[in-house]
Amino acid sequence: MENFDVIIVGGGIAGASLGAEIAAERRTLIVEAEDQCGYHATGRSAAFYLESYGGAEVAKITLASRELLMDPPEDFADEGFLRVRGDLHLTTDELPLLPADVDARIVERAELERMIPGIRPQWRRALFEPGCADIEVARLHAAFLAQFRRRGGAIATRARLRSASRTGGAWQVLLDDGSSLSSSVLVDAAGAWADSVAAAAGVETLGITPKRRTMVQLRVGRRGLRQLPLVDAADGTFYFKGEGDNTIWLSPHDEIDTDPCDAAPEEMDVALAIDRFQQVVDWPVERVERSWAGLRSFAPDRLPVYGFDADAPGFFWCAGQGGFGIQTSAAAAKLAASLLLGAYPHPSVAHIDPSVFSPARFSS
Ligand SMILES: Cc1cc2nc3c(=O)[nH]c(=O)nc-3n(C[C@H](O)[C@H](O)[C@H](O)COP(=O)(O)OP(=O)(O)OC[C@H]3O[C@@H](n4cnc5c(N)ncnc54)[C@H](O)[C@@H]3O)c2cc1C
User: pLDDT of 198-216, one tens digit each?
Assistant: 999 999 999 999 999 999 9
> 137-150 and 329-341 helices cross at what angle (nearest 10)?
30
Answer yes or no: is the C-beta of 214 below 6 A from any ligand 1 atom: no
- pLDDT band with cut points at 50, 70 and 90 for residue 351: very high
Residue 19 scores a pLDDT above 80: yes
**Smallest CA separation from ligand 1 atom 22, residue:** 325
User: pLDDT of 134-152, one tens digit each?
Assistant: 999 999 999 999 999 999 9
Going by the DSSP 8-state scheme, the letter that residue 262 receives in this structure is: -
User: pLDDT of 39-83, one tens digit each?
Assistant: 999 999 999 999 999 999 999 999 999 999 999 999 999 999 999
Give the distance between the most distant pair of CA atoms in the chain: 69
**Smallest CA separation from ligand 1 atom 13, residue:** 323
* CA separation for the pair 308, 182 (Å, rounded): 18
Residue 101 scores a pLDDT above 90: no
Answer yes or no: is the C-beta of 212 below 6 A from any ligand 1 atom: no
| Structure confidence at residue 256 (pLDDT) | 97
Answer yes or no: is the C-beta of 140 below 6 A from any ligand 1 atom: no
**Average pLDDT, rounded, for the chain:** 97
pTM: 0.98
Residue 93 scores a pLDDT above 90: no
- pLDDT band with cut points at 50, 70 and 90 for residue 1: confident
Short-list 15, 98, 1, 6, CA closest to 51:
98
Going by the DSSP 8-state scheme, the letter that residue 227 receives in this structure is: G
